[in-house]
A and B are shown apart, each in its own frame.
Chain A
């Protein structure tokens, strides 16, 4: 018997995680009324768009439940706890059209979502939530769901002043509102939640945004905004390599002295979440040059989550660089957990500081070979940007640089 000693070789113990969640959920097994403090948390589905499911998520607990939906703090926790939190949230959903914001139910959802602190909520469900929890390859771990009949907000929402201001400003564009909140130190996941319930933007354009899309929209908007500044900063002075290991995941970053460009690559080992096969490691990635990209990256939302973390780092240092980020996902990590995991790990990796500084690319690649399982050769062959840096000499190498009068720009 394993008794939680990790015989299954997974990064977390599925038995412990589900057992803790089930004990909590058993309290509401046969009840159609749920009373609890929403962290706050809300779920907006994407199936059937523009008619979608939306509703608050509530754990069957009262008190400070904020940790149930606070990804910025989850990195310090054991993976079992995070999974337990996700499984313990009961979501009562109602089907509405994304533009149907003048609906009293949506107003109550706004009341819950805009609160910075957990808020007591009574949810009356059409049928009792079955304390069954799913662990699917494709969906993030989810707690029970049931159609919602009515929702009562019992507690008083504590809405930060700046959130209240942008919520009530009906002439403020959503992207400007996002930046005001971000610059006021509102956590990114809070902004994503507020964005998803249609609480931001020009009044006539406001709509409910599926959770998955809102995460990417906010990550992308903030990093795009910061990038406008970063692209004017001086380049870093040497190659920097960062490495971080966390629960069967390895994150690595190469910052190279050059103008801004970015690449995010993932190598999925057989048996990990998105590579359930048994044969070979699958490497995927997407990139952008200085001018950005005009299509959605195939690799998905983690591209923007990781880009935000890099841009925040460069913005903080007032520097620019070419950034190549790598992630290796080993077989023990077979749970889709959400893009917060990427964003927070990359942020943490940069906080820890560089593991190597060098002016020699081959030394940096040698270091990557030592640190990664895939090895620098395969990473290099999979990377568009690393190949550019390693194999293309600047065009100035082929010529004598000369100034011609009149070709200097006027300042």
Chain B
């Protein structure tokens, strides 16, 4: 197997965020491309990371290859990448993952393979009722501004005002952000009904790290069901996180 991705930094931030949520997971590489799907140990977040085969500059794989990795180790390696680096992934006969950063010189890292138990990864078919598309760093800003004040973010849609409210309350006080197309925070917003749901900020904060890997993010949710945060990565890649709601 040999895969070459043109921008190692996309992987740097995507994996940094995934490694905050999941400690170990498997990449499955087949003719369609590369995919990682995993549940976090507390079963609150589901991660789905995909890159189609067309997203790679070079893509050579025989049949299907599964590589288990420790994501914090992989993230530590990818943190070494710089602006002009390309990323090359390979697998040794022993099943170990070879990560090479190619830019000014070639830095090659070999990671031990992880054999973990078969994991139940649910297929989610959720009907979302509100959708907000934004520049990915807006999502990061929402989280970092509310994080100061509370530990859960409540999202409320205001269909009449075509706005999405993100708010938090704690002993320290309250904080509220209003996001709309009109104010320039959102690129696109749609919701027909008033939807209201809360999500733990710890998870959102870990997820927000991925905003540096993407240009745009799409946030979808509905009352009392999981939300989806989808980062649109370069080269057709997608990084989706589903987060279970907090219901008191």
Contact = CB atoms under 8 A, between A and B. Distances in A.
Q: Provide the main secondary structure of the chain A interface.
A: loop
Given A392-B200, A407-B28, A409-B116, A398 B244 contact: yes
Contact of B247 (A258, A391, A408): A391
A171 interface: no
Contact of A403 (B64, B120, B124): B120
Secondary structure of the B contact surface, majority rule = loop
Interface stretch (B4-12, B42-50, B178-186): B42-50
Contacts of A410: 26, 66, 68, 115
A81 interface: no
B247 A291 contact: no
Given A289-B42, A291-B19, A395 B118 contact: no
Given A409-B26, A410-B66, A392 B246 contact: yes
Interface residues of B, number: 45
Interface residues of A, number: 32
B246 A411 contact: no
Contact of B122 (A388, A400, A411): A400
Interface stretch (B33-41, B54-62, B79-87, B102-110): B33-41
A291 B66 contact: no
B122 A399 contact: yes
Contact of A397 (B72, B125, B244): B244
A157 B121 CA distance: 59
Nearest to A259: B41
A409 B200 contact: no
Contact of B120 (A259, A391, A392, A396): A396
Given A290-B42, A395-B122, A396-B122, A409 B117 contact: yes
B242 A289 contact: no
A384 B242 CA distance: 20
Nearest to A396: B122
B42 A258 contact: yes
Contacts of B66: 406, 409-410
Top 9 nearest A-B pairs (CB, nearest first) are A259-B41, A290-B41, A394-B43, A408-B118, A395-B244, A399-B122, A391-B246, A409-B26, A410-B66
15 contacts: A258-B42, A261-B42, A290-B41, A291-B72, A322-B42, A391-B246, A392-B44, A395-B46, A398-B126, A401-B120, A403-B121, A409-B116, A409-B119, A410-B66, A411-B115
Interface of A: 231, 258-261, 289-291, 322, 384, 387-388, 391-404, 406-411
